[in-house]
């Protein structure tokens, strides 16, 4: 049976969360909505429609959703040629690939945004497959993106680890029966990640790479070996 290393991208492999916060804040401001950046930050990781529902409520004018999403995408698109990769993120993916893991990216990003993120991370040689917002009927925190990624990797839930930086990542992994590992690089507190289902939390990709042999990846690999 294959082993699957599933990774969120924004805030996990690429240092982009605060760019998203500013772009959503500006898109909402232009449409006449006052939303605190702190609240936007905590909603990151949700698909656009779910993010807007979380921030503006079910009673919002949903006819605005498409325009708000387009405004965010347009603003964020101006950053595509300079998205920053987090330190050692590519090394982490390559080390897992070297150890026989199938690496799958699992993100709420659309196709053009995902292409830009993959260029930023620059580790395509280690990536088996990707799951984007268009590939599943429901995004995080539903388990759909994680279960779809397992199918692409040909792996069972107990032979997989999911790494992300938001509570939505942790909840999606837990609901799919996959061990969830949290990273603090996205700015979400350790306690929130643990409450949402993280079995281990590391500062960032470089920290996880340094502790890989004592991480949940070692636990899964050891179980598979037996």
Domain ranges in the chain are: 2-15+85-225, 17-78
Question: Around Cβ 222, how many Cβ atoms within 10 Å?
Answer: 9
pLDDT at 25 over 50: yes
Domain 2-15+85-225 has CATH 3.40.50.1000: yes
3-class DSSP state of 107: coil
The fourth-level CATH superfamily of domain 17-78 is Putative phosphatase; domain 2 (1.10.150.240)
pLDDT tens readout for residues 120-137: 999 999 999 999 888 999
Instruction: Please give the residue that has the higher pLDDT: either 224 or 62.
Output: 62
pTM metric for this prediction: 0.95
148: enclosing H helix or E strand:
helix 144-153
The radius of gyration of the chain's CA atoms, rounded to the nearest angstrom, is 17
**H helices, E strands: number in the chain:** 11, 6
Residue 224: predicted pLDDT: 57
Q: What is the DSSP string of 1-59?
A: -EEEEEE--BTTTBS-HHHHHHHHHHHHHHTT----HHHHHHHTTS-HHHHHHHHH-TT
How would you class 137 by CB atoms within 10 Å of its CB: exposed for 0-12, middle for 13-18, buried for 19 or more?
exposed
């Amino acid at each position: 049976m294959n082993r699957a290393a599933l990774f969120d991208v924004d805030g996990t492999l690429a240092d982009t969360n605060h760019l998203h916060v500013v772009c959503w804040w500006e898109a909402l401001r232009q449409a006449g909505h006052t939303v605190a950046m702190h609240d936007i930050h905590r909603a990151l990781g949700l698909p656009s429609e779910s993010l807007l529902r979380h921030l503006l409520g079910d009673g919002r004018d949903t006819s605005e959703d498409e325009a708000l999403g387009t405004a965010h995408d347009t603003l964020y698109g101006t950053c595509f040629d300079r998205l920053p990769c987090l330190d050692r993120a590519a090394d982490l993916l390559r080390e897992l690939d070297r150890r026989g893991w199938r690496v799958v990216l699992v993100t709420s990003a659309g196709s053009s945004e995902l292409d830009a993120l993959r260029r930023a991370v620059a580790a395509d040689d280690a990536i088996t497959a990707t799951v984007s917002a268009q590939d599943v009927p429901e995004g995080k925190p539903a388990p759909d993106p994680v279960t779809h990624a397992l199918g692409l990797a040909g792996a069972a839930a107990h032979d997989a680890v999911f790494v992300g930086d938001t509570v939505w990542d942790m909840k999606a992994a837990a609901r799919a029966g996959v061990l969830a590992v949290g990273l603090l690089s996205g700015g979400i507190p350790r306690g929130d990640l643990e409450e949402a289902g993280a079995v281990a939390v590391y500062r960032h990709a470089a920290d996880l790479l340094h502790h890989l042999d004592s991480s949940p990846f070692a636990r899964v690999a050891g179980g598979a070996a037996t």
